[in-house]
Chains A and B, each alone.
Chain A
Amino acid sequence: DIVMTQTPLSLSVTPGQPASISCKSSQSLLHSDGKTYLYWYLQKPGQSPQLLIYEVSNRFSGVPDRFSGSGSGTDFTLKISRVEAEDVGVYYCMQSIQLYSFGQGTKLEIK
């Protein structure tokens, strides 16, 4: 089974400042088809998760461009260029090269 490890588990950010979340997988997420199956979700308080980023770095429909994803192999990063109040919640990375598994989640709060 592929284990996804996120750091930090929580972070407090001043509005307008950047934020960064790391996600490491126990195995490479690079498929033989050349794609890397790493995704990012945000679960806002009291809501269902929503897809932010697919295949490492592609923003899903309607996701603001302050969100960006990067990485390769086993190391990935989600960055928010300027945090806004509406970005609070728990961020999860997910792999789907071997069925599906999620990271533990990173809780983002506003200072």
Chain B
Amino acid sequence: EVQLVESGGGLVQPGRSLRLSCAASGFTFDDYAMHWVRQAPGKGLEWVSGISWNSGSIGYADSVKGRFTISRDNAKNSLYLQMNSLRAEDMALYYCAKDISHLVGATAFDIWGQGTMVTVSS
């Protein structure tokens, strides 16, 4: 069964850091690009960041550029999101999503995890 399981969310103060993880199983992880997509409470979907199969191509939304860093470890079938300088507007459910391709861009996401909640509050 194809599965993505996020972890690492929680309550964090503004300005602090948090690292999210996504464990993948049921497919050949290093064949596909991977992404983080977030959803603020009661709001719509916002793409956050994506990384190609070999980490050679990485993209970020303008809202997180310079603060967030995406990475992957193909040996561990894992995706990560390092979030620094967190703001109130970063509070959201963060989904890990599998791409239908090995590249970032001109693609879509076919498998989503259940998400991990990040709460930014003092």
CB within 8 Å of B: which residues of A?
1, 31, 33, 35, 37, 39, 41, 43, 48-51, 54, 60, 90, 92, 94, 96-105
Contact = CB atoms under 8 A, between A and B. Distances in A.
Nearest to B99: A96
Interface of B: 35, 37, 44-47, 50, 59, 61-62, 95, 100, 104-110, 112-115
Contact of B105 (A35, A48, A92, A99): A99
Question: For the complex, would chain A's binding face be called helix, strand, loop or mixed by DSSP majority?
Answer: loop
A54 B108 contact: yes
8 contacts: A43-B45, A48-B112, A49-B112, A97-B106, A100-B47, A102-B46, A103-B44, A105-B44
Contacts of B108: 39, 51, 54, 94, 96
Contacts of A1: 62
B59 A48 contact: no
Q: Which of A39, A60, A96, A98 has the most CB of B within 10 A?
A: A96
Nearest to A94: B108
B59 A99 contact: yes
A95 to B, nearest CB: 10
A99 B47 contact: yes
Contacts of A39: 108
Q: Which of A31, A39, A90, A100 has the most CB of B within 10 A?
A: A100
